[in-house]
A and B are shown apart, each in its own frame.
Chain A
Amino acid sequence: LVLLLFCELVARVPWASPTPRAGDMVVNTIHWFRKGLRLHDNPSLRDSIQGADTLRCIYILDPWFAGSSNVGINRWRFLLHCLEDLDASLRKLNSRLFVIRGQPTDVFPRLFKEWHITRLSYEYDSEPFGKERDAAIQKLAKEAAVEVMVRISHTLYDLDKIIELNGGQSPLTYKRFQALINHMDAVELPVETITSEFIKKCATPISEDHDEKFGVPSLEELGFETEGLITAVWPGGETEALMRLERHLERKAWVANFERPRMNANSLLASPTGLSPYLRFGCLSCRLFYFKLTDLYRKVKKNSTPPLSLYGQLLWREFFYTTATNNPCFDKIEGNPVCVQIPWDRNPEALAKWAEGRTGFPWIDAIMTQLRQEGWIHHLARHAVACFLTRGDLWISWEEGMKVFEELLLDADWSVNAGSWMWLSCSSFFQQFFHCYCPVGFGRRTDPNSDYIRRYLPILRGFPAKYIYDPWNAPEEVQKAAKCIIGVHYPRPMVNHAEASRINIERMKQIYQQLSCYRGLGLLATVPANPNNGASGSNVAGVSTGTSQGPGGFSEDQSIQEGTSRTGTQARWLTLLLFKMYNAIKILTCY
């Protein structure tokens, strides 16, 4: 008996890896967590464990954090929570998480050798930077005779299949995307959660100094100042994510209403059932969410087919992933085939005021304050600040706004962030730009009580609701009574909104007129016709009412030297593409 015990102990020696002996097919596997920070619905991890002798789950703390060095404290904290949660869950399975510092291309060759690795698994990353990185790692794996297992579980579908269905092109409009989705095979079911039963044949060699060498770092260790940091409004981790999912579904069931929720003042605040950061980091499987929603709907609505709008949040995410996956320039203006080249202004001072919530417009400043403090803002709040920065007021490039969101917003990943910014600044095809969010009026209509402003901008608490959205218009007595003089305690508005929006809408109109070659007077018709609407392509051909084309009539581009202006070449390219697209889509069935 003692001998047996002894053998058992030796076999489970925590520091040594079983070395491959001649004739023995020992499988030592690494599972590489990047996103997909969960043990439920993790097919690559599951397949990796099958038939493996040892398992090590690693997370590589790439100093560049998946392509960007621009990460704020809330995002780091959320990530660390996720890693701690993973580590805790793995502990329950007699395993641990290994956090390794360095660049993947340096780390892997070392680990392959040290741990005698024969298998590597990870969840597929569809983003161009991810694909490039993974291609390099696959090459290294091949050289080290390591088997690579990749599975798709960060998106509902295989994005390449969607693109294939669209003739090899990423869909350019959301409607087109929805039409394609309708023709795709059903979403695959989420795979089962890893249990101790499943993993029992697979050991994890854990050393005594594991915490020192491979433990999850703290914020301080990463160099952050944590004094005065408020408790996380959005705690990270799979456990939290699954709890929130249950609450989210409970609330939906209770309301028994699957329509798009009406926006009210409360929606602006962080919700205990909000899921977007968890989906971004992969703490929550999008497929699990999808199927739980479907089940709930069928239960409440007695088995009818759920409409696509039920999955709105998930499908928008999927759409941006699909448009981004083959476009390494997706997050830029220059060289980006889906982005309209708009001559944005370069103004670092104005940008800083916006980013730091010092614009002088309480609605905008409150939103940016919430974003900085908590890491999440409601999607309509995002529209408001994005519009203000770009086409609405400041006329600053969406690339700048995207970088700020990247730093501060918990659920902003590369594809969704860039895609949303292009959409909101009307830099991508077929977006009507007439709708401008007023930095005073929109806020006032959303939250007439102004609780939101008071909460995030305490300096303005003394103002009555009548004046709080445009405090510069408040009479002196009111300002004195509120103990806040505009221009002294709170900045004056940085732009005249009426003037700015007047100029900017004119700019957008001129730019789009060049693109669509539209010569008429309508504002709506300047945007090239959306092929999915089936609206006549006549707008693109320039036929419309009230054409101002007398002899000597000044058409916008008459005096433009061909080729000098970037917009000129862009215009030609885009018009050609539009025609091609329009004809291609006429052939394929519409939604």
Chain B
Amino acid sequence: MKRGRTGLKSSCQAFPSQERAKRQKRGASSFAEDWGNLPHHVVLQIFQHLSLVDRARASSVCRRWNDVFHTPDLWRKFEFELNQPATSYLRSTHPDLIQQIIKKHAQHLQYVSFKVDSCIESAEAACDILSQLVNCTIKTLGLISTARPSFMDVSQAHFVSALTVVFVNSKSLSSIKIDDTPVDDPSLKVLVANNSDTLKLLKMSSCPHVSPAGILCVADQCHGLRELALNYHLLSDELLLALSSEKHVHLEHLRIDVASENPGQTHFHTIKRSSWEALVRHSPKVNIVMYFFLYEEEFEPFFREETPVTHLYFGRAVSKEMLGRIGLNCPRLVELVVCANGLEPLDEELIRIAERCKSLTAIGLGECEVTCSGFVEFVKMCGGRLTQLSIMEEVLIPDSSYNMEQIHSEVSKHLGRMWFPDMMPTW
């Protein structure tokens, strides 16, 4: 093996040829000494290119390398993977490694995430680790369920106490991702009390124990908040106004999930047009992303007036009438994705959307129907601004003007690039 001087920094090229010759005479053992004597920052740089497993192996080679292995710089980011063989195909971070990190590197951790499977033990293990991160300056924290949300199975008290350890001790949290967890209003208060100056991103979709007042507290105090993700029941006029107050920075991204348990059981309040307007006035470039998982009859309160939404996703069937309203009232629309509509052609609605949503660049249609002529008309009006056009093949209905073979060339012409509908195996 060639001596690894190629690729290392110039600072270690200094061996004079005489010495090299002498070393070559002395034999292999002296090479090991030299490897062990590489400068600290050189080994560090090499280690930064290695995977954790390889790095761990390398750390057992000699004391120097072991020291480098434990350099704080290598422990800024860590992702704890907590899985049980009964519920997941993925491996878990080794418990010994976890212990080592808690013992030696807790204070170095800055970007931490926990990936847990659907088993309650994994979520509890994550909480245990969290409770031990006392002397930390964590900036980014993510609690991610890779399958069913197991954090929701953990006792609320246990979860909240673990989470508040980090909230209280870090004091410089900037990004927090706690979707599908039993976080509650008091813990948000603790978060705010300790991190209001630094908090920039908060994702907490589907946290059923939080109330609108709880999230309002965050918006009122954390004026640096740029990204927020929550469920519709937490959205209020007060919240939008708080996010638009003078002291507040420009909001970049607001993500709202609208999901219903059973048809007719949830009542959805309306947000005043003036609140939306205030938000857009304050943050003209804000992106508002809304994901809907409702029954068709539950859409009544939405899009009756102008709404500044930019990205819309309908995870279940949405009515023709509703799509018509969207064309009328969503001038800022950038992306529209519809899972299903039914068996009535959506030509008119699409054309209206092409006319009035001048920023639309992406559209996806699932179980819907559009005549080929209507679709061509739509594409003509949008032209090349459509960078994403994902239409299931079954959506397009051939008519007298176009059949399936002609449609793709016609659409490709207007888009200025090769286009095909999305296909599904017909076997």
Interfacial residues, chain A to chain B (CB-CB below 8 A) = 174-175, 259-260, 263, 276, 307, 309, 312-313, 316-317, 320, 333-334, 343-347, 379, 383, 395, 397, 411, 416, 419-420, 423-424, 432, 434-438, 441-442, 445, 473, 496, 498-499, 501-503, 505-507, 510, 521-525, 532-536, 538-539, 545-546, 548, 550-554, 558-566, 569, 590-591
The answer to whether B355 has its CB under 8 Å from any CB of chain A is: no
Q: A343-B117, A533-B417 are in contact. Are A554 and B340 (CB under 8 A)?
A: no
What size tier do the contact residues of chain B reach? 35 or more
Check if A333 sits within 8 Å of B89, measured CB to CB: yes
Q: Which residues of B contact A473 (CB under 8 A)?
A: 262-263
A-contact 0/1 string along B366-410, CB 8 Å cutoff: 110000000000000000000110101110001000011100000
Q: Which residues of B contact A563 (CB under 8 A)?
A: 50-54
23 pairs, CB–CB < 8 Å, chain A vs chain B: A320-B425, A346-B88, A379-B426, A424-B425, A434-B390, A503-B180, A503-B206, A505-B313, A505-B315, A522-B388, A524-B362, A524-B390, A532-B420, A533-B420, A538-B387, A545-B334, A552-B139, A552-B200, A553-B226, A559-B79, A561-B52, A563-B53, A564-B52
Q: Which residues of A contact B198 (CB under 8 A)?
A: 552
Closest to B84 in A: A346
Check if B423 sits within 8 Å of A550, measured CB to CB: no
Q: Which residues of B contact A445 (CB under 8 A)?
A: 317, 340, 342-343, 367
A449-B419 Cα distance, complex, nearest whole Å: 37
Closest to B175 in A: A554
Q: Which residues of B contact A545 (CB under 8 A)?
A: 287, 334, 361
Check if B361 sits within 8 Å of A554, measured CB to CB: no
A-contact 0/1 string along B230-265, CB 8 Å cutoff: 000000000000000000000011000101111100
Closest to A566 in B: B90
The answer to whether B147 has its CB under 8 Å from any CB of chain A is: yes
Check if B426 sits within 8 Å of A316, measured CB to CB: yes
Give the distance to chain B from A102, nearest Cβ to Cβ, in Å: 32
Q: Which residues of B contact A498 (CB under 8 A)?
A: 259-261, 293-294, 315-316
Closest to A431 in B: B422
Check if A432 sits within 8 Å of B390, measured CB to CB: yes
A562-B48 Cα distance, complex, nearest whole Å: 9
Check if A411 sits within 8 Å of B427, measured CB to CB: yes
Contact of B334 among A383, A507, A546, A590 (CB under 8 A): A546
Check if A523 sits within 8 Å of B424, measured CB to CB: no
Check if A546 sits within 8 Å of B147, measured CB to CB: no
Check if A561 sits within 8 Å of B78, measured CB to CB: yes
Sorted nearest first, the 10 A-B pairs with minimum C-beta distance are: A563-B51, A554-B175, A435-B366, A345-B147, A559-B111, A552-B174, A534-B418, A343-B146, A498-B293, A524-B388
The answer to whether B118 has its CB under 8 Å from any CB of chain A is: yes
Q: A524-B337, A563-B53 are in contact. Are A558 and B77 (CB under 8 A)?
A: yes
Contact of B367 among A424, A435, A522, A523 (CB under 8 A): A435
A424-B427 Cα distance, complex, nearest whole Å: 12
Q: Which residues of B contact A424 (CB under 8 A)?
A: 424-425
Q: Which residues of B contact A411 (CB under 8 A)?
A: 427
Check if B253 sits within 8 Å of A521, measured CB to CB: yes
Closest to A507 in B: B146
Check if A535 sits within 8 Å of B387, measured CB to CB: yes
Check if A559 sits within 8 Å of B388, measured CB to CB: no
Q: Which residues of B contact A591 (CB under 8 A)?
A: 418, 420
From B117, B293, B317, B393, residue with most partner A Cβ within 10 Å: B293
Give the distance to chain B from A263, nearest Cβ to Cβ, in Å: 8
Q: A445-B343, A560-B113 are in contact. Are A501 and B315 (CB under 8 A)?
A: yes
Give the distance to chain A from B119, nearest Cβ to Cβ, in Å: 9
From A312, A343, A345, A445, residue with most partner B Cβ within 10 Å: A343
Q: Which residues of B contact A334 (CB under 8 A)?
A: 89
Q: Which residues of B contact A501 (CB under 8 A)?
A: 293, 315-316
The answer to whether B153 has its CB under 8 Å from any CB of chain A is: no
Q: A432-B390, A550-B252, A558-B77 are in contact. Are A397 and B89 (CB under 8 A)?
A: yes
Q: Which residues of A contact B310 (CB under 8 A)?
A: 521, 546
From B291, B405, B418, residue with most partner A Cβ within 10 Å: B418
Check if A533 sits within 8 Å of B419, measured CB to CB: yes
The answer to whether B45 has its CB under 8 Å from any CB of chain A is: no
Q: Which residues of A contact B227 (CB under 8 A)?
A: 548, 550, 553-554
Check if B340 sits within 8 Å of A346, measured CB to CB: no
Q: Which residues of A contact B205 (CB under 8 A)?
A: 506
Q: A499-B293, A522-B311, A560-B77 are in contact. List 5 more A-B contacts (CB 8 A).
A: A345-B118, A473-B262, A522-B362, A561-B77, A569-B51
Closest to A563 in B: B51
Give the number of residue pairs across the A-B interface with Cβ within 8 Å: 258
Q: Which residues of B contact A432 (CB under 8 A)?
A: 364, 390, 422
Q: Which residues of A contact B140 (CB under 8 A)?
A: 552, 554, 558-559
Closest to B83 in A: A343
A319-B294 Cα distance, complex, nearest whole Å: 37
Closest to A569 in B: B51
Check if A438 sits within 8 Å of B118, measured CB to CB: no
Check if B342 sits within 8 Å of A548, measured CB to CB: no
Give the distance to chain A from B307, nearest Cβ to Cβ, in Å: 17
Q: Which residues of A contact B262 (CB under 8 A)?
A: 473
Q: Which residues of A contact B91 (CB under 8 A)?
A: 566
Chain B residues 47-66 with CB under 8 Å of chain A are 50-54
The answer to whether B282 has its CB under 8 Å from any CB of chain A is: no
Contact of A309 among B200, B253, B404 (CB under 8 A): B404
Give the distance to chain B from A297, nearest Cβ to Cβ, in Å: 13
The answer to whether B349 has its CB under 8 Å from any CB of chain A is: no
Check if B252 sits within 8 Å of A554, measured CB to CB: no
Closest to A538 in B: B387
A134-B146 Cα distance, complex, nearest whole Å: 42
Q: Which residues of B contact A548 (CB under 8 A)?
A: 201, 226-227, 252-253, 287
Q: Which residues of B contact A434 (CB under 8 A)?
A: 313, 337, 339, 364, 366, 390
Give the distance to chain B from A562, nearest Cβ to Cβ, in Å: 6
Q: Which residues of B contact A533 (CB under 8 A)?
A: 417-420
From A420, A532, A559, residue with most partner B Cβ within 10 Å: A559
Chain B residues 202-219 with CB under 8 Å of chain A are 203, 205-206
Contact of B226 among A333, A503, A550 (CB under 8 A): A550
Q: Which residues of B contact A554 (CB under 8 A)?
A: 140, 142, 174-175, 177, 201, 203, 227
A-contact 0/1 string along B69-97, CB 8 Å cutoff: 00000000111010000111111010000
A154-B175 Cα distance, complex, nearest whole Å: 57
Check if A496 sits within 8 Å of B261, measured CB to CB: yes
The answer to whether B335 has its CB under 8 Å from any CB of chain A is: yes
The answer to whether B36 has its CB under 8 Å from any CB of chain A is: no
Q: Which residues of A contact B324 (CB under 8 A)?
A: none
Q: Which residues of A contact B426 (CB under 8 A)?
A: 260, 312-313, 316, 379
Q: Which residues of A contact B339 (CB under 8 A)?
A: 434-436, 438
Q: Which residues of A contact B260 (CB under 8 A)?
A: 498
A441-B361 Cα distance, complex, nearest whole Å: 28
Q: Which residues of B contact A175 (CB under 8 A)?
A: 420, 423
Check if B51 sits within 8 Å of A503, measured CB to CB: no
A591-B417 Cα distance, complex, nearest whole Å: 12
The answer to whether B322 has its CB under 8 Å from any CB of chain A is: no
The answer to whether B112 has its CB under 8 Å from any CB of chain A is: yes
Q: Which residues of A contact B89 (CB under 8 A)?
A: 333-334, 343-344, 346, 397
The answer to whether B149 has its CB under 8 Å from any CB of chain A is: yes
Check if B418 sits within 8 Å of A343, measured CB to CB: no
A525-B88 Cα distance, complex, nearest whole Å: 28
A525-B335 Cα distance, complex, nearest whole Å: 10
Check if A438 sits within 8 Å of B291, measured CB to CB: no
A473-B260 Cα distance, complex, nearest whole Å: 14
Give the distance to chain B from A385, nearest Cβ to Cβ, in Å: 14
Q: A473-B263, A496-B261 are in contact. Are A438 and B317 (CB under 8 A)?
A: yes
A379-B424 Cα distance, complex, nearest whole Å: 9
A-contact 0/1 string along B137-158, CB 8 Å cutoff: 0011010111111000000000
From A416, A424, A501, A564, residue with most partner B Cβ within 10 Å: A564
Q: Which residues of B contact A263 (CB under 8 A)?
A: 394
Give the distance to chain B from A447, nearest Cβ to Cβ, in Å: 12
